[in-house]
Amino acid sequence: MSTPTTPTTPTTTPDASENANAARTTKNLLDPGFELTLRPMRYPDFYEHYRNAIKNTWTVEEVDLHSDVADLAKLSPGEQHLIGRLVAFFATGDSIVSNNLVLTLYKHINSPEARLYLSRQLFEEAVHVQFYLTLLDTYLPDHDDRAAAFAAVENIPSIREKAQFCFKWMDSVEKLDRLETRADRRRFLLNLICFAACIEGLFFYGAFAYVYWFRSRGLLHGLATGTNWVFRDESMHMDFAFQVVDTVRQEEPDLFDEEMGRQVTAMLEEAVEAELQFARDLCGDGLAGMNTDSMREYLEAVADQRLARLGLPVRYGSTNPFSFMELQNVQELTNFFERRASAYQVAVEGSVSFDDDF
Distance CA 202, CA 208 (A): 10
Q: How does DSSP assign 200-234, residue by residue?
A: IIIIHHHHHHHHHHHHHTT--HHHHHHHHHHHHHH
Sorted by sequence, the CB contacts under 8 Å of residue 156 that are 6+ apart come out as 85, 88, 281
Cβ atoms of 110 and 27 within 8 Å: the answer is: yes
Cβ atoms of 150 and 79 within 8 Å: the answer is: no
Residue 234: exposed, middle, or buried by beta-carbon count in 10 A (0-12, 13-18, 19+)?
Answer: buried
Residues carrying an active site annotation: 132
Distance CA 222, CA 224 (A): 5
Angle 229-220-78 (CA atoms, 0-180°, nearest 5)?
A: 125
Sorted by sequence, the CB contacts under 8 Å of residue 257 that are 6+ apart come out as none
Helices 204-216, 221-251: axis angle to 10 degrees equals: 150
Sorted by sequence, the CB contacts under 8 Å of residue 205 that are 6+ apart come out as 302, 358
Cβ atoms of 210 and 220 within 8 Å: the answer is: no
Distances (CA, A) of 256 to 185, 189, 217, 310, 312: 10, 8, 44, 10, 11
Cβ atoms of 334 and 310 within 8 Å: the answer is: no
